[in-house]
Amino acid sequence: MSPSADVLRTMSAGFFDRLVSRLDKLDPSSLQAHLARLAHERGFLETIFQSIHEGVMVIDNEGRLQYANHAAERFIGFEFARVRGRSVERYLRDLDWEHLLGLDGGDEEWTRMLTREIEVTYPAHRFLSIYAVPLPEQDELGRSVLIILRDVTSERQQEFATLDNERINAVRLLAAGVAHEIGNPLNALHIHLQLLAREVKNVPEEQRATVAELVDVARDEVGRLDAIITQFLRAVRPSKPQITLVQPDELLQETLRLMKTDIENRRITISIERPDVLPRTPLDPQQIKQVYFNLLKNAIEAMPDGGAIKIAFTVGDAFLCIAFQDTGNGIAPQDMARLFEPYHTTKQQGSGLGLMIVQRILQDHGGQIEISSKPGTGTCFRISLPLAERRVRMLSPAREEEVRAQDSE
């Protein structure tokens, strides 16, 4: 039995029972003293319950809320004064209230069923550990249940991060085998297809066009496989960023020039918004261009019938933010949580590695990525990169002077 349940038992079954049994024997002054003591104990317990980090709730035999402290209000998103006496089923939907209120306090099933975790999304996304304890039956409440809530969100996030690291390590372990078993035969295929293309001129004229087309298709598919392996190796064998102070919008222009033909063929319009003064930012130019390329490629492929991409630069106190907003098909809610998983893709010819590479590069730069999407309307990828001043404040004094000297050159 938890300490909170013991306190409630003592308060309800101990002091109150003794007080009631002696009321007719007390003179007015003694009664006043006992009532003062009662008020003091009640206030003391209330102060304790309102100060602890765990949520405390008491539910009557009809599933109606009789008590909740501030932590429970914060976790679940209600005001006790407004919902007192109402059913709490709407707030904790994952609990079987009918079964819960029907169990005997001595039943071993309490331990199995009523120590569990639930996920809530309002007023914030949290994982809550729930511990339910039956309280002694009382005339005014009948059977009631004490529920203790503990926020375990940080613990679950740490577990998820550990799982992600294990998944990435598994992918890295596979990389060496893939590079050897697929890379070498692929290079041989590419070389022999080049030789075959040269021999097309010796094919009878009536068959020459068909053979040339087949060779071109084979070369394109070999090239696609080679690109997938290249992306795979970049994802699993990350190189340390070579940081230098650069203009991030100039890197974007270089990437757009590289993708110009694809953008025009897909009938995509590009618009760029940027402040008058855009500071030089500590970046690895090649890696950030890879980020731009992957995000633009995703946006272009989401608009097979043409559309628009709006790119907006904004400068904050500590970060440079770049938003890529497209007018494409959007992302289904069930796919949002898996976007950065290796090999997860919604495209017929996608590798599922592009966004994983983007996330890794941004993390190595001390940045982050946020995604918002509405199916049928479009998607916005918003990346944040730390500015030079923020990076300087994290360095030693000697290194700080070195970075400032580079910035002034």
User: Tens of pLDDT along 185-194?
Assistant: 877 888 888 8
What's the pLDDT score for residue 112? Answer: 42
Q: Report the pLDDT averaged over residues 198-219.
A: 83
302, burial (CB in 10 Å: exposed 0-12, middle 13-18, buried 19+): buried
Domain boundaries, the chain: 3-156, 170-236, 244-408
Which among 129-138, 209-218, 261-270, 354-363 has the top mean pLDDT?
261-270
What's the pLDDT score for residue 320? Answer: 94
Between 381 and 173, the higher pLDDT residue = 381
What's the pLDDT score for residue 29? Answer: 60
What's the pLDDT score for residue 22? Answer: 55
In this prediction, residue 117 has a pLDDT band, given cuts at 50, 70 and 90, of confident
Lowest mean pLDDT among 60-64, 84-88, 262-266: 60-64
What's the pLDDT score for residue 155? Answer: 83
Q: Are 326 and 302 in contact (CB under 8 A)?
A: yes
In this prediction, residue 252 has a pLDDT band, given cuts at 50, 70 and 90, of very high
CATH number of the structural domain 244-408: 3.30.565.10
59 pLDDT above the threshold of 70: yes
Q: Which of 332, 335, 331, 314 is nearest to 323 (CA)?
A: 314
Q: Report the pLDDT averaged over residues 344-372.
A: 75
Q: What gap in Å lies between CA 94 and CA 120, rounded to an integer?
A: 10
What's the pLDDT score for residue 113? Answer: 44
Between 58 and 114, the higher pLDDT residue = 58
The alpha carbon of 191 is separated from its chain's Cα centroid by a whole number of angstroms, namely 44
Q: Report the pLDDT averaged over residues 34-38.
A: 62
Q: Report the pLDDT averaged over residues 278-306.
A: 90
Lowest mean pLDDT among 5-19, 280-294, 295-309: 5-19
Q: Is 83 helix (H, G, I), strand (E, B) or coil?
A: helix
Lowest mean pLDDT among 68-72, 184-188, 215-219, 309-313: 184-188
What's the pLDDT score for residue 394? Answer: 42
Q: What pTM was computed for the model?
A: 0.46
Chain segment 322-341, per-residue pLDDT in tens: 999 999 988 887 777 667 66
How high does pLDDT run on average in the chain? 76
What's the pLDDT score for residue 241? Answer: 85
Q: Which of 247, 270, 249 is nearest to 259 (CA)?
A: 270
3-156 belongs to which homologous superfamily?
A: PAS domain (3.30.450.20)
Q: Which of 162, 126, 156, 112 is nearest to 53 (CA)?
A: 126
